[in-house]
Amino acid sequence: MRSHYCTNLSEKDVGLEVEVCGWANSYRDHGGIVFIDLRDKTGLLQLVCDPEHNKSAHEVASNVRDEFVLRAKGKVRLRGEGLENPKLKTGKIEIIIDELIVENAARALPFVINDENVNEEIRLKYRYLDLRTPKAYETFKLRSKATVAVRNTLDELGFLEVETPVLTKATPEGARDYLVPSRVHNGEFYALPQSPQLFKQLLMCGGFDKYFQIAKCFRDEDLRADRQPEFTQIDVEMSFCTQEEVIKVTEKMLKNVFKACGFDINPPFEQMTYKHAMETYGSDKPDLRYGLEMVDVADIFSRSTNEIFSSIASDTKKNRIKALKVPNGDNIFSKRQMKGFEDYVRKFGAQGLGFFQMKEEGLKGPLVKFFSEEDLAEIVSRCELKTGDVVFFGAGKKSVVLDYMGRFRIYLAEQMNIIPQDEFRFVWVVDFEMFEVEEGKLKALHHPFTMPKDINADVEDMESIAYDIVLNGVELGGGSIRIHKKEIQEKVFKLLNISDEEANEKFGFLLDALELGAPPHGGIALGLDRLIMLLTNSKSIRDVIAFPKTQRATCPLTQAPSIVSNEQMRELGIRLREKTIKENR
């Protein structure tokens, strides 16, 4: 066994006999003396192999190359004057070596460890080399601390950790399923769970009134920067609870997780309705670290002499006209940049981007001529404009305007560099709509098991008892109070155009349970990977997953997914179409 990790030694240990183990991070031969920077998960330590001190250790050292695995015994001493390295934690000391053992040699590495310019595919192929850096170790240490804090907090609160199946039936979280063919039942498939949603509800029906799990979820989606086909959720469910109780448990857990990772956060967090978030920030996950709030000005524009604006403004149910003030924007941005803003919003469906500049003498800009003096004054007062400010306008269909103005808000904040980097700003978004329309079809905004506030309300206005927790503009997680009555569940299925047969085929087991004494219940799930990303300020979700997949859902390390033998395919009753085989090759 080693006696110390590299960076646990310091000048206090001078004279101590030690044994250290690790990898040769680098080596130098200086006038016959070999210096090796030994690296372990904690950092670097300098070993000195001097032939005058110990001939055989020096001989071994002469053959050491990068990434050889070493065990070294020797004595801690101070480095000579002027030879200290202030960049290293152990920069004041070195070990004069009495015995050096090469535990294993290493061939030339495919890339230099820690070189951030190396193509990611190669780094993932040799992921263990990537993991050898202290930075990677720190990330996974923090991840472990966070997970343990989740377990401890929920355990203290009386929650039971229960595992749910991975080979199961489809659960609808809105993505495509990963399927596993059955050998015993040829032609039939298991689905990997998109979340443990239905099982956790069934645990409530089983009388386990507080459940949690650090659960793997699988969703076959087109991967975006912060998505992975398999990811981890902190999954929680409780019986006989209110929304506020779920929120309280989550806040307590987050408080302890952040504390375990060295941060102090102060729940209770602010709550905001979905409607307010959409209307003011153009997003259901608003970043509240900066202002740039949108103001509704449709009523003022309805009185303008510009027909396009006045007609858009006349239908406040379908359309929106939103103003976004940039304080001092006139001095911050050039004409050219302002033109660039228009190009930016056009990418997201904007027809254009109007603006006013607040000059000493009043509002200026191409739109001024369409407004009366009073209405210009109203714009100034409603947007609280001061000299030098610029105010931009988005006008058009509600969903389009809210979307591009929301994106524009973030884009502006980035351009203006006003986003505080060392702040954790949480917000609960509550009172979600029950449904959304996607490609002409009604879809559950959360999932179809979410309890509506009033099942008899109009479909467009129906709200659900659902809540999301948002941190710095990132959705950390979400949950809801669930439907625990069969009639309501059936009504929701009907509204979603799920026939009785389909409902029975897919969710018959749930409908059964709802008839056999299902308690009221609700819960939440938080994305652990995203949480760790935010805690470690990582740019990619792949940095916080030990063995992640690429954006094309492949694993360069194991080469998964891969072709399987004909024998295996035959057992599964599967034959590939000729075309598929060719396409795959």
527 binds ligand ASP (CB under 6 A): no
- Supply the minimum distance, in Å, between the C-beta of residue 206 and ligand ASP: 17
Residue with tokens 């191409």: 366
479 binds ligand ASP (CB under 6 A): yes
- Supply the minimum distance, in Å, between the C-beta of residue 163 and ligand ASP: 16
Tokens representing 158? 């009386």
193 binds ligand ASP (CB under 6 A): no
- Applying CB under 6 A, which of residues 25, 153, 357, 480 lies at the interface with ligand ASP? 480
Q: Report the sign of the C-alpha dihedral through residues 330, 336, 337, 342, in that order.
A: positive
* DSSP H or E segment with residue 233: strand 230-239
Q: What are phi and psi of 530, to 5 degrees?
A: -65, -40
- Dihedral through CA 164, CA 165, CA 168, CA 172, nearest 10? 30
- Applying CB under 6 A, which of residues 129, 525, 533, 544 lies at the interface with ligand ASP? 525
- Supply the minimum distance, in Å, between the C-beta of residue 284 and ligand ASP: 13
- Supply the minimum distance, in Å, between the C-beta of residue 249 and ligand ASP: 12
- Dihedral through CA 401, CA 402, CA 403, CA 405, nearest 10? 80
Q: CA nearest 466: which of 225, 271, 234, 176?
A: 271
239 binds ligand ASP (CB under 6 A): no
Interacting span for ligand ASP (CB under 6 A) from 336-344, 517-525, 533-541, 547-555: 517-525
Q: What is the DSSP string of 335-402?
A: HHHHHHHHHHHHTTT-S--EEEEEETTEEESTTGGGS-HHHHHHHHHHTT--TT-EEEEEEEEHHHHH
* Nearer residue to ligand ASP within complex by CB, 327 or 478: 478
* Nearer residue to ligand ASP within complex by CB, 478 or 556: 478
- Supply the minimum distance, in Å, between the C-beta of residue 551 and ligand ASP: 21
Beta partners for residue 23, in sequence order? 39, 69
- Applying CB under 6 A, which of residues 25, 54, 195, 319 lies at the interface with ligand ASP? 195
- Supply the minimum distance, in Å, between the C-beta of residue 482 and ligand ASP: 8
Q: CA nearest 494: which of 485, 486, 503?
A: 503
Strands (E), 245-317: 270-273, 294-296
Tell me the Cα Rg of the chain: 30
Q: What are phi and psi of 441, to 5 degrees?
A: -110, 145
* Nearer residue to ligand ASP within complex by CB, 94 or 237: 237
Tokens representing 411? 């884009």
- Applying CB under 6 A, which of residues 136, 150, 524, 535 lies at the interface with ligand ASP? 524
- Supply the minimum distance, in Å, between the C-beta of residue 445 and ligand ASP: 11
Interacting span for ligand ASP (CB under 6 A) from 55-63, 103-111, 523-531, 549-557: 523-531
- Supply the minimum distance, in Å, between the C-beta of residue 494 and ligand ASP: 21
- Applying CB under 6 A, which of residues 523, 542, 545, 548 lies at the interface with ligand ASP? 523
- Supply the minimum distance, in Å, between the C-beta of residue 447 and ligand ASP: 6
Q: Which amino acid is at 10?
A: S
Interacting span for ligand ASP (CB under 6 A) from 383-391, 400-408, 453-461, 473-481: 473-481
- Supply the minimum distance, in Å, between the C-beta of residue 173 and ligand ASP: 5
Q: What is the distance between the alpha carbons of residues 258 and 260, in angstroms, rounded to a whole number?
A: 5
Strand 521-527 and strand 230-239: the pairing is antiparallel
Contacts to ligand ASP by CB under 6 A? 173, 195, 197, 478-480, 523-525
